[in-house]
Amino acid sequence: MININSFNEIIKKYNFFLFDQWGVLHNGHKKFNDAERCLIKLRELKKKVILISNSSRPTKFSISNLTKIGFKKSLYDYCITSGQITLNNIQKDIYSKYGDQCYPIKLSSEKIKYFDLKVSKIENADFAMIADIPNNLSIIDFANTLDKLLKHKVPLLCSNPDYLVYDNEKLSMCGGTVAQLYEDMGGVVYRYGKPFKPIYEDIKKIMKIKSNSKVLVIGDSLWHDIAGGNLMKFDSLWIKEGVHKPQLDKENEIRGLIKKYNPKFAINKLKL
């Protein structure tokens, strides 16, 4: 891993830049001005900028939030979310194989509406779905539900594969943690965001990417951004002061993660 002080040091080698959003470009509520300057620099150099998010909502909501917090649409070529890829694949992967009756796990009425889900009890469900979860819940709160799903052999669709989110100086659990536990228990799980292939295959197709060596992934999650880059054989830049910030002082813990995921470059915060 090569530690760098400025994004400028590595720009020239790459043509396509895949930016995570939360923790890299903004904190969900406010943009990072230094990160915005990096996007402006890339546009000046005619580089391709792709914004990739594990948000469980369709892309239009992500674009709306980016605009709301001050990112102009002219700063990026393409934006895609895990929720959008889920929506694009639900007919092929879920409805056609299992049926359309859904058991929602802590899904908001908003998400039930824009995924157009037909809600059912566990014993009658063809699949279950999880996305974001309330901040006050722990993995233990899902144990009974997962046991019942496994008993009835119900596949689980997860539209946000993130394990954790770092928000307001606190770590909160995401749906990806529950989905990973269900898979570890022997359940069937469908995930479409980082670090899984569908979201990257969509980007490669839309952006007409021919050479993986010309792609740089920029993200704060070793588990998702950097792991996804490794899967696709893309180089990666790890933003240290993001979701792993609470672990940076725990040398043995963070050293093990760095060794496992091995980002090519690292920087404290995204800046020129």
Residue 88 structure tokens: 């694009």
Over residues 215-240, the pLDDT tens digits come to: 999 999 999 999 999 999 999 999 99
Q: For the residues 241-248, what does the mean pLDDT come to? A: 84
Q: Is the pLDDT of residue 243 over 90?
A: no
Q: For the residues 59-73, what does the mean pLDDT come to? A: 97
Q: For the residues 101-120, what does the mean pLDDT come to? A: 95
Q: Which residues pair with 102 in a beta bridge?
A: 119, 127
Q: Is the pLDDT of residue 3 over 90?
A: yes
Say what the pLDDT of residue 71 is: 98
Q: Is the pLDDT of residue 245 over 90?
A: no
Say what the pLDDT of residue 150 is: 97
Report residue 244's pLDDT band, with 50, 70 and 90 as the boundaries.
confident
Percent over 90 (pLDDT), the chain = 88
Q: Is the pLDDT of residue 166 over 90?
A: no
Residue 207 structure tokens: 């952006």
Q: Rounded distance, CA 132 to CA 245, Å?
A: 21
Over residues 81-103, the pLDDT tens digits come to: 999 999 999 999 999 999 999 99
Say what the pLDDT of residue 169 is: 64
Over residues 128-143, the pLDDT tens digits come to: 999 988 888 889 999 9
Q: Is the pLDDT of residue 116 over 90?
A: yes
